[in-house]
Structure 1
Amino acid sequence: MCLGIPGEVVELHADRPDLAQVDVSGVRRAINIGLLEPGEVGVGDWVLIHVGFALSKIDEAEAKAAMEFLESIGQAYADELAALQSSTIE
């Protein structure tokens, strides 16, 4: 199962404007923000991530609600976090 997971943008890559560093429940990874409008996201913003891509910008309340739901489903969420932790985008 693949889930859309909220992540908080913690860094924008100056040398790669299509990449941002995000934090998802303590796991930090580079994700592709190229599907979003240039300048749409910044540090501190929340995005909905699926297969390494930010699909949309979301507000913090929506991110919190999504995280509560994801944490409630247990193993599927744990599996997604493990997959995120082991993945890389270059």
Structure 2
Amino acid sequence: MCLAIPGKIKSIDYQYGGAVRMAKVLFGGITKDASLDMVPHAQVGDYVLVHVGVAISVVDEEEAEKSFRYLQEIGELDELIDASQIDAPNPDTDR
């Protein structure tokens, strides 16, 4: 199943020589990068639905929180949490 996960934009910057507008998006305590090319009007503090690293729409806070809770209840956020643990450097092994 393909899911879009709601998250809050914490910061925005331009990458690849200014060609791509990227955001740091907070997903319940986990921060990931997401392209904002499909939502050029999105701003810091907005909630967006992110699918495979691309923000596909802006949603209000209430809808984002409701969707996040539902996804958490059905176990669809496990992969996001597991991926964040894999991506995080391990000070004991990454020397």
Same fold (TM over 0.5): yes
TM-score range, shorter chain: 0.7 to 0.9
Q: Does 1:79 align with 2:79?
A: yes
Q: Number of aligned residue pairs: give it.
A: 83
Q: CA deviation at 1:14?
A: 4.7
Distance between the aligned counterparts of 1:70 and 1:42, measured in 2? 24
**What is the percent sequence identity of the aligned residues?**
33
**CA displacement 1:10-36 (0-9 Å, x = unmatched):** 001155451011100111111101111
Distance between the aligned counterparts of 1:42 and 1:27, measured in 2? 19
**Which segments of structure 1 move beyond 4 Å, counting only runs of 4 or more?**
14-17
Which protein, 1 or 2, shows the higher relative CO under an 8 Å CA cutoff with sep ≥ 6? 1
Choose 1 or 2 for highest CA Rg: 2
Q: Which residue of 1 aligns with 2:52?
A: 51
TM-score by length of 1: 0.80
Contact 1:2 1:80 in 2 (8 A): no
Q: Which residue of 2 aligns with 1:25?
A: 28
TM-score by length of 2: 0.76
